[in-house]
Amino acid sequence: MYKLDLPVDLKEVAAIERRRNKEQQRQSRIFNAKARTMGVDVATLGKQVEERRTMERTEKAREEAFDADREQYDKIALMLEQREQQLSRDLDRAVQNYRAQHQKPETRREFDLYDPDALKKDRPARVSDDDPRCGPASLQKFDGEDLSEKKRRELQTDMTKKCLTEQKDERKRSEAQQKYADNLYDMKRIELDERAQHLSTMEEECRKAVDMATNSYNQALAMEASERRRLHKQQEEDNNFAEIYNHLTGDILTENPAVAVSAFGPHRVVPDRWKGMSPEQLKAILDIQKQQCQEKERLKEEEKQDNMEWDRQRVLAARAAMNMEQQEQEFSRETRMRLDGYNQQLSREQRAHLEYLDNVVYTNSPTAHYHTQFNTTSR
């Protein structure tokens, strides 16, 4: 009833681990007396931050300049593409106009072969019995006869020459326009390549200058850090020598009890010179420790009572959960019994229906002889 194998939330685990690592790092910084007392060089850090911001502003200005040039190049390329598309559309429109004006179906050489109105234009074979075209045998026309063949061929030849000449001129004009557009496109592409190469050279020079400045600054920082470490090491050695000398010549090693008396009163002592406590002080400390032990025993007893109460509450909750689970199982059992009874009733009804079909409806079952009459011929 209680689902305990819940999936682990990876995000929550990662967040807990991250907070735990931050807390450990913070404790390492706080509990390190050397790092806590020395501090950091605020002026140097401020200078580094200002230099970093200056470098970021320079980089931002350079990126903005590159973005402006890129937008300008995009606009130029878009204008050239639009011009090329306009030239292509003009050329297609001119070709369509030329075809509509000078290449009509009626002007083609073989138009008379598929003219839809050929029968309407053609003269009838005979107008009447007195038609002078009819000969002695009333034959209108023989196959292969064409009286205007020579003139028609001359007209078709002239028309073909004219069409070929016009197509040749149109093709020359189109090639000249295309060549002019290609020359313009090549010139603009060369100009864009030269511009891009110039910008790439400028960017490389700027990058080299930034790298040189960064290297110089890093070298200066390294020299300064090395000098600071040397001075700190020298100062630490001097302090260690002075501390050793003070220990050797002080009252700590001489075990002088008078040196433990503080100048602020007889009830106060100097910690680094104190030699021990009196019996009264030890007795007072033991009494306080005894009181603390009694208080701790009382707290343990209270915690034990609380744990017993929590255990009793958990037992009651478990019993209530078991009762609810038993009730749910009883309800499921009753539901299953009702469902089984309903299924049995349906089974009886279906069995009765099948018996009705077998005994009343389907009484005339086909025999084997009925099936042998099929597939006996090729039809």
Q: What is the DSSP letter of 329?
A: H
- pLDDT recorded at residue 378: 47
Give the Cβ contact number of residue 202 at 10 Å: 13
Whether the Cβ atoms of residue 104 and residue 97 lie closer than 8 Å to each other: no
**H/E run at residue 135:** none
* Residues 251, 247: Cα–Cα separation, whole Å: 8
Contacts of 118 (CB under 8 A, 6+ apart): 112
- For 242-262, letters b (16+ CB in 10 Å) and e give eeeeeeeeeeeeeeeeebbee
Whether the Cβ atoms of residue 140 and residue 134 lie closer than 8 Å to each other: yes
Whether the Cβ atoms of residue 262 and residue 270 lie closer than 8 Å to each other: yes
* Residues 330, 337: Cα–Cα separation, whole Å: 11
Which of 115, 116, 133 is closest to 124 using CA atoms?
A: 133
Sequence ranges of the domains in the chain: 43-109+150-228, 294-360
Cα 263–268–270 angle (5° rounding)?
70
* Residues 344, 331: Cα–Cα separation, whole Å: 20
Whether the Cβ atoms of residue 51 and residue 210 lie closer than 8 Å to each other: no
* Residues 80, 92: Cα–Cα separation, whole Å: 18
* Residues 109, 337: Cα–Cα separation, whole Å: 96
Whether the Cβ atoms of residue 259 and residue 251 lie closer than 8 Å to each other: yes
Q: Which residue has the tokens 């973005």?
A: 67
* Residues 10, 8: Cα–Cα separation, whole Å: 6
Which of 80, 91, 89 is closest to 186 using CA atoms?
A: 80
Strand locations in the chain (E): 261-262, 265-269
* Residues 86, 78: Cα–Cα separation, whole Å: 12
Residues in the chain: 379
- pLDDT recorded at residue 182: 85
- pLDDT recorded at residue 116: 82
Whether the Cβ atoms of residue 260 and residue 274 lie closer than 8 Å to each other: yes
Contacts of 325 (CB under 8 A, 6+ apart): 1
What is the CB-side half-sphere exposure of residue 334 using CA atoms within 13 A? Answer: 5
* Residues 140, 142: Cα–Cα separation, whole Å: 7
- pLDDT recorded at residue 86: 92
Alpha carbon separation from 96 to 6, 88, 93, 129 (Å, rounded): 75, 12, 5, 51
Question: Is 335 exposed, middle or buried (CB count within 10 Å of its CB: 0-12, 13-18, 19+)?
Answer: exposed
- For 127-139, letters b (16+ CB in 10 Å) and e give eeeeeeeeeeeee
Q: Per-block average pLDDT, block size 10, for the chain (379 residues)? A: 60 89 81 62 77 91 90 91 92 89 80 80 65 62 57 85 88 87 84 83 84 84 86 86 74 62 66 68 86 91 90 87 88 89 90 85 76 61
Which of 290, 262, 170, 217 is closest to 52 using CA atoms?
A: 217
- pLDDT recorded at residue 321: 86
Amino acid of residue 85: Q
